[in-house]
Structure 1
Amino acid sequence: MSLLTIVLSAAALIAADQLIKLAVLAFLQPVGSVPLIPGIFSLTYVENRGAAFGIFQGNVLFLVVLTSAIIVIGGWVLYKNVFQDRVINRCLLVVMAGGIGNLIDRVCRGFVVDYLHFLPFNFPVFNLADCLVCCGVACMLIYVLFIDRTFTKKEQSS
């Protein structure tokens, strides 16, 4: 994956995340919550000062340093094509874009803007960047465990 492809792809995903968050701050923050499918799904403004599921609440510096380190390592892995697999590299790119989207929030605002709320599951409110991280990791795991058998073949042959 070329450096230009990495940068442009990540920039597009990060821009989408940040534009949505700006809209949420402008239009949703004043009202708090807007039900889209009553009892099932709403847009709910939340200032998340921690990580997933509220862990590490108030530890912004720790989360900034940890996320930055993961992004730098991921960028190096992509640039050096360590895995030599396009699917893995694209999944990693999506994870990194989500991480950068939330990192921008933490650095610029001191919190992450969350807004997607599924009510019946009592699931924490989340955002597009969270979706990118989770979907990127999930796709990578599915690919490695069930589709691309070269990873498991290498382990079995040793």
Structure 2
Amino acid sequence: MIYYAIGLIVLILDQLTKWIIVQQMHIGESIEIIPHFLYITSARNTGAAWSILEGQMWFFYLVTVVVLAIVIFYMQKYGRHRPFLGVALGLVIGGTLGNFIDRLFRGSVVDFIHVFLGNYSYPVFNVADSSLVIGAILIVIFTLFDQKKVNAHEQ
């Protein structure tokens, strides 16, 4: 199914970029791409976003299995019949698996995309994180528009 292929493409891109970072850069090393805005910075994270729940790997393993089960269920039941939702769920699957593989085999997640917004240094992230965020936003958009369709049919 095409939507699982999207997840696989995200997973491959995520793992390839992380492998390059691990092979080519030392932790803490940074390469300026766009001055004062975008850098490639080699970092590791043993927690979730903004390093919350740092070191709680058992928790992340459990959450990952539960999330994947729920997302695959929704993919099978709804996503394969609704392209917008299918793409969103595929992005979530790819991102979830990308960070799960890091935690499982490296003991931490490899992060490398570092953005500065003015004086604010946004937490370093990766392709999997981006995929998860985009997928989640698309799910919210789908849910809002789908609910509007349901409400319109009821009137």
Q: TM-score, normalised by structure 1?
A: 0.86
- Shift of the 82–27 alpha-carbon distance from structure 1 to 2, 3 Å rule, reads closer
Shift, 1:143, TM fit? 3.5
Hey, what's the Cα distance between the residues in 2 that align with 1:59 and 1:7?
A: 28
- Shift of the 155–64 alpha-carbon distance from structure 1 to 2, 3 Å rule, reads farther
Shift, 1:65, TM fit? 1.1
Work out which of the residue numbers 55, 64, 69 in structure 1 matches 2:66.
Answer: 69
Shift, 1:11, TM fit? 1.5
Map 1:20-99 to 2 at 5 A.
20-29=17-26, 32-81=29-78, 84-99=81-96
Hey, what's the Cα distance between the residues in 2 that align with 1:100 and 1:125?
A: 19
Q: Which string of whole-angstrom CA distances, capped at 9 and with x for unpartnered residues, describes residues 50-75 of structure 1?
A: 00111111101101110121012211
User: Residue 4 of structure 2 contacts residue 90 of structure 2 at CA under 8 Å; is this kept in 1?
Assistant: no
Q: Bigger shift: 81-90 or 68-77?
A: 81-90
Q: Give the secondary structure class of the aligned counterpart of 1:92.
A: helix
The corresponding residue for 2:135 is 136
- Shift of the 8–83 alpha-carbon distance from structure 1 to 2, 3 Å rule, reads closer
- Shift of the 55–155 alpha-carbon distance from structure 1 to 2, 3 Å rule, reads farther
The corresponding residue for 1:151 is 147
Hey, what's the Cα distance between the residues in 1 that align with 2:69 and 2:57?
A: 18
Shift, 1:139, TM fit? 2.1
Hey, what's the Cα distance between the residues in 1 that align with 2:10 and 2:80?
A: 22
Letter in 1 for 2:91: V
2:97 aligned with 1:104:
no
Q: After TM superposition, which residue ranges in structure 1, 4 or more long, deviate above 6 angstroms?
A: none
Q: Where does the alignment leave 5 or more consecutive residues of structure 1 unmatched?
A: none
Shift, 1:152, TM fit? 2.8
Hey, what's the Cα distance between the residues in 2 that align with 1:24 and 1:82?
A: 33
Hey, what's the Cα distance between the residues in 2 that align with 1:30 and 1:103?
A: 20
Q: Which string of whole-angstrom CA distances, capped at 9 and with x for unpartnered residues, describes residues 113-144 of structure 1?
A: 00001123321000010000001111222343
RMSD over aligned Cα, in angstroms? 2.1
- Shift of the 85–6 alpha-carbon distance from structure 1 to 2, 3 Å rule, reads closer
Hey, what's the Cα distance between the residues in 1 that align with 2:79 and 2:20?
A: 37
